Amino acid sequence: MGNSKLPMGNPPPKLAPRIPFALPQDTQPHHPPSTIGSLFKKGSSLPSEAPGSPPTVALTRHQGDQLGPLASHLPAAAEAPAAKRNSRCGRPLLLLCDDCHHQHRLTMAPLCCSNTREIKIGHVDDVQELRKCRPAAVPERYIRDVGERPAEAAAAASSVLSSSENIPVIDMSRLVRGGEARLEMERLAAACEEWGFFQVVNHGVELELLRRMEELAMEFFMLPLEEKEKYPMAPGTIQGYGHAFVFSENQKLDWCNMLALGLEPHSIRNPKLWPSNPSRFRYPPPRGHDHLSKHLTIFFDRPCTSAPLLIVEINGGCPFACSETLELYSAEIRELCRRLLVVIAESLGLRPDGLEGMFGGSFVQAVRMNYYPPCPRPDLVLGLSPHSDGSALTVLQQDARSAGLQVRKGGAWVPVIPVPGALVINIGDTIEVLTNGKYKSVEHRAVTHHDRDRLSLVTFYAPGYDVELGPLPELVDDRRPCLYRRYNHGEYNRHYVTRRLQGKKTLDFARIDNEVCV
């Protein structure tokens, strides 16, 4: 492939000097620097190693269904006989493209599960089909143990909370308006500290766009099963249509169908799992960017015991594009997340970039569309198991007609009553760690209804996989000693996606045993 496929037909920007294939210091392979083209010759194997040195770099063929929830679309560019595995996540690699002369920054992302071929999840009914064919049936796998059932929890809730208690509603327009700003900021701080959840109004995202996105998602869920099954979520992965976070035949299932898509960076998008029906979901790749797909490949730089890691970030290129609606939605919600991170930082007395600045400019964004059909026994099942989100922030758009989200507070489950046009925001695990537990990611779940369906559109905004995180020094002192260790967010993400949803258990990954004095 020559220069005929340069992006948009523009002359290649001159890069000087040429950036060679570069690995982190401690993983430098013993072979001469390569450009992307020489590495990725079709059918080629690894760059050869110096005799006697252990191989440190491998390229392998894309095996989307085995490898991963996100970033599993990478096409075959070169194939390695045996894939090495990587325990080092998020190490950026720089490659220079022979074809377009762009420098591509590639980041290893720990997005995949351990060998998904080993995961046996048994028979999983599609809940929408069950509803059609056996409207009164609730298979055993969906029936929760007594203590987990919504009815039990509802009874506990009524004894603990007064009915007036609901998650706070924050008016974003007031956060910037003179005298009102201080008060609203205090309300925001209280919402983050006491609830970990709040709803926002006047958030700046066009209501018409929210409506269009909801319509698009509903159109997808209403398609015949054969159509939706063209985008299967493989066991142990979290992208496509199906059930996420299922790892065994004994695990209880959620009364929910999901369509989950990685959005940003573009290289985590998996074209195989991106619906082309409804046709509005997808439109053709922008001209000139298709050449990039051949440069996407999977790298492993050293053996590890669990998951293979993928290189997933390509700068300056979009291998393919998605629905205009989803693209706009994703951009607007991202912008909202950024504004929220600024005000949340300010509510803590930090600089405006005190939180997002910790991401070093690298972020990941994904969307999960959850469809909960009506259930003949909503008292026995859960729509979505209790969990906290592994993101920094989550933005949830919920059906105004149908409540279903519940937040855990003081041992009780509090329903989040939809406010028309509002978006629900929750603090994710990343913010809990950065704020040293001052703002907490809070456990939440979804319940179903007997005669109403429900849709939620959930955007996760998180640091990039190369980001190292730990509590901000400003929020650590003698009274509040450090509660979390430093870790690589990519590794945390891998930990999160390879376990079933189990309340806040995943954050044990980062917790250290220290007492807070209050």
Ligand X SMILES: O=C(O)CCC(=O)C(=O)O
59 vs 424 by CB, closer to Fe ion: 424
At closest approach, how far in Å is the CB of 388 from ligand X? 9
Q: Is 184 in the site for Fe ion (CB under 5 A)?
A: no
Which of Fe ion, ligand X, none sits in contact with 370, Cβ below 5 to 8 A by type? ligand X
Least distance CB 210 / ligand X (angstroms): 15
DSSP H or E segment with residue 153: helix 150-160
327 sits in which H/E element: helix 324-347
Supply the minimum distance, in Å, between the C-beta of residue 406 and ligand X: 8
Residue whose CB is less far from ligand X, 256 or 472: 256
Residue 441 CB contacts under 8 Å (≥ 6 apart), including other chains: 196, 388, 389, 426, 427, 428, 429, 431, 432, 504, 507
Query: Residue 370 interacts with ligand X (CB under 6 A)?
Result: yes
From the list 35, 23, 33, 39, the residue with the least C-alpha distance to 297 is 39
Min dist. Cβ of residue 152 to ligand X (A): 19
Of 69, 465, 377, 415, whose CA–CA distance to 243 is shortest? Answer: 69
Compute the residue count for the chain. 518
**507 touches ligand X by CB under 6 A:** no
Number of residues that bind Fe ion (CB under 5 A): 1
446: contact with ligand X by CB under 6 A: yes
What's the CA angle centered on 93, arms 91 and 94, to 5 degrees?
A: 155
**Cα dihedral value 356, 427, 68, 384, nearest 10:** -170
Q: Which residue among 153, 167, 233, 405 contacts ligand X (CB under 6 A)? A: 405
User: Does residue 262 touch ligand X according to CB under 6 A?
Assistant: no
Residue 364 contact partner, candidates Fe ion, ligand X, none, CB within 5 to 8 A by sort of partner: none
Which residue among 104, 144, 368, 495 contacts ligand X (CB under 6 A)?
368
- Name the residue number minimizing CB distance to Fe ion: 389
- The strand pair at 393-398 and 454-463 is best described as antiparallel
Q: How far is the CB of 501 from Fe ion (least distance, A)?
A: 8
Instruction: Enumerate residues 451-470 that contact ligand X by CB under 6 A.
Output: 456, 458
Residues 381-410 that bind Fe ion (CB under 5 A): 389
d(CA 258, CA 268): 18
Q: b/e for 286-307, b at 16 or more Cβ within 10 A?
A: eebbbbbbbbbbbbbbbebebb
Task: Supply the minimum distance, in Å, between the C-beta of residue 413 and ligand X.
Answer: 12
Residue 423 or 434 having the CB closest to ligand X: 423
Q: Which of 110, 373, 404, 428 binds ligand X (CB under 6 A)?
A: 404
CB nearer to ligand X: pick between 61 and 504: 504
Asked if residues 111 and 71 have their Cβ atoms less than 8 Å apart, the reply is yes
Pick the closest to residue 153 from 414, 426, 373, 389 (CA basis): 414
Q: What is the DSSP letter of 355?
A: T
Among residues 7 and 386, whose Cβ is nearest to ligand X?
386
- For the record, the structure tokens of 432 come out as 């809990």
Residues 172, 173, 178: CA angle, nearest 5 degrees: 115
| Pick 295 or 409: Cβ nearer Fe ion | 409
For position 332 contacting ligand X by CB under 6 A, the verdict is: no
DSSP annotation of 198: E
Stretch that binds ligand X, among 102-110, 207-215, 224-232, 396-404 (CB under 6 A): 396-404
Smaller CB distance to Fe ion: residue 344 or 427? Answer: 427
Burial class (CB in 10 A: 0-12, 13-18, 19+), 375: buried
Q: How far is the CB of 387 from Fe ion (least distance, A)?
A: 6
Give the nearer residue to ligand X in terms of CB position, either 7 or 383.
383
Residues near ligand X (CB under 6 A) are 368, 370, 384, 389, 396, 398, 404-405, 444, 446, 456, 458
